[in-house]
Amino acid sequence: TLLDQQGIAVRTGHHCTQPLMERFGVTGTTRASFACFNTMEEVDAMVAATKKAVKMLR
């Protein structure tokens, strides 16, 4: 994926919320998980990679 190519690991799919997603007409989502072990540099890298992916897909 575009994020994986930049070293960002995320999960995609329904995340155990398929009925709610169907209710709102959402076919899938992307989830990034953070913990106390993440650095601000890692968060900044994820944000930058996400912005780049969105720009490429629009």
pLDDT digits (tens, 9 = 90+) for 19-48: 999 999 999 899 999 999 999 999 999 999
Q: Quote the pTM value.
A: 0.74
Answer yes or no: 36 catalytic: no
Q: State residue 1's pLDDT score.
A: 79
Q: State residue 24's pLDDT score.
A: 96
Q: State residue 26's pLDDT score.
A: 94
The single residue of 6, 8, 16, 27 carrying the catalytic annotation is 16
- Under a CB-based contact definition with an 8 Å cutoff, are residues 4 and 42 in contact? no
Q: Into how many domains does the chain fold?
A: 1
> What is the extent of the structural domain holding 26?
4-57
CATH number at residue 40: 3.90.1150.10
Instruction: Report the C-alpha gap between 57 and 32 in whole angstroms.
Output: 19
Structure-model confidence comparison of residues 12 and 1, the more confident one: 12
- Under a CB-based contact definition with an 8 Å cutoff, are residues 10 and 29 in contact? no
